[in-house]
Homo-oligomer: A and B are copies of this chain.
């Protein structure tokens, strides 16, 4: 038996009773002979409550102080879980991000893990203790407390597993990775296994079960992830290196992303300089652009469309004002009822015809798509949100998901 890293998210440790249940599950795994590192998030709504307090003091809280504030959430959970483990008769110790050797870099509230020093942690494992680590947090080289941003506890767990060279079990309130989000398509099938590459595409496209950054680290260091429901009573999904079995299947899953904004800049005079200008101004304003399309020139004018997150709507409006002063005669449309549907599959690389099949399904069902982009293992379409449910259903059935 070796070391296992287990991660329990905010809903799994939402109250004292749930912390007690987690302690029981961790204790079971320990009594099977494993050395256990448990990574936990803040309890339930704790982080939201702390954010609300900060927002009631200032609209724009200092990010360093925000990290100082938010990191208390995980610190509360680790101490309570460690107490609960001792109450079950298991020796245990809690460690903050700093004490667990998580060194970060980057900007506050969105730090990245730079290095992990597990010496202190290993010493406690060698003493037979269950080590409970605060997820989501670390310390930078100045000694400031830092946090890793959304999904940061997943990242902590995978980074520790990478350094300890062991499996990472992620327990959450969903019971695995499905071919399609079961809330949209209840007939969706649970995947027994999925490759890192597919999981990264699924995660970045909003599958929401696992943070992209965590999957990236797992991919880089070949950390086997097991993702399952926190009650442990259903088989979950393995995220691992791709194998022959996976490659046989053209399509692994289908993801849907809402809250997309599609902007079309009509009647742009067609010069390379003008097109470059548009994306330069967007980049200078830190707007993350996803899909881009452009019509063929007509009377030397083109229409340029791109999608972005609705979060950036105010920044984009500023960008458009700047563009209107630079590009004479343009005319800008905003569409906010847009969804993105992506089909993902490692097998796509070896099989042609997936795109053709999707086009055919859309055409047979009178679904208009606005844009299409492809990567090696995915094809994405933007459609009207009103067509979303129909599109998911016909695609999922046609692709046997």
A contact set with B: CB distance below 8 Å? 16, 19-20, 50, 53-54, 56-58, 61-62, 64-66, 68-69, 71-72, 75-76, 78-80, 82-84, 86-87, 93-94, 96, 99, 120, 143, 145
Tell me if A69 and B58 are in contact (CB < 8 A).
Answer: no
Q: A86-B62, A93-B64, A99-B143 are in contact. Are A54 and B80 (CB under 8 A)?
A: yes
For the complex with contacts A54-B80, A66-B79, A69-B79, 12 further pairs of A-B residues with Cβ separation under 8 Å are A19-B57, A54-B83, A57-B87, A58-B83, A62-B82, A64-B93, A65-B83, A68-B78, A68-B94, A71-B75, A75-B75, A99-B143
**In the complex, what residue of chain B is closest to A91 when comparing beta carbons?**
B62
Q: How far is the CB of A130 from chain B (nearest CB, A)?
A: 12
Q: A56-B16, A69-B80 are in contact. Are A120 and B96 (CB under 8 A)?
A: no
Tell me if A145 and B80 are in contact (CB < 8 A).
Answer: no
**In the complex, what residue of chain B is closest to A145 when comparing beta carbons?**
B96
Secondary structure type dominating chain A contacts: helix
Of the residues B57, B93, B94, contact of A80 by C-beta under 8 Å? B57
8 A-B Cβ contacts within 8 A? A16-B56, A54-B79, A54-B80, A57-B80, A65-B83, A68-B96, A72-B72, A96-B145
How far is A192 from B19 in the complex, measured between Cα atoms in Å? 52
**In the complex, what residue of chain B is closest to A59 when comparing beta carbons?**
B87
Count of chain copies = 2
Q: How far is the CB of A48 from chain B (nearest CB, A)?
A: 14
How far is A16 from B71 in the complex, measured between Cα atoms in Å? 19
Residues of chain B within 8 A of A58, CB atoms compared:
83-84, 86-87
How far is A56 from B20 in the complex, measured between Cα atoms in Å? 10
Tell me if A68 and B62 are in contact (CB < 8 A).
Answer: no
Q: How far is the CB of A46 from chain B (nearest CB, A)?
A: 10
Residues of chain B within 8 A of A68, CB atoms compared:
75, 78-79, 82, 94, 96
How far is A80 from B57 in the complex, measured between Cα atoms in Å? 7
Q: How far is the CB of A35 from chain B (nearest CB, A)?
A: 20
Residues of chain B within 8 A of A96, CB atoms compared:
68, 145
Tell me if B50 and A76 are in contact (CB < 8 A).
Answer: yes
Residues of chain B within 8 A of A69, CB atoms compared:
75-76, 79-80
**In the complex, what residue of chain B is closest to A61 when comparing beta carbons?**
B83
How far is A71 from B79 in the complex, measured between Cα atoms in Å? 11
Most B CB within 10 A of own CB, among A58, A62, A96: A62
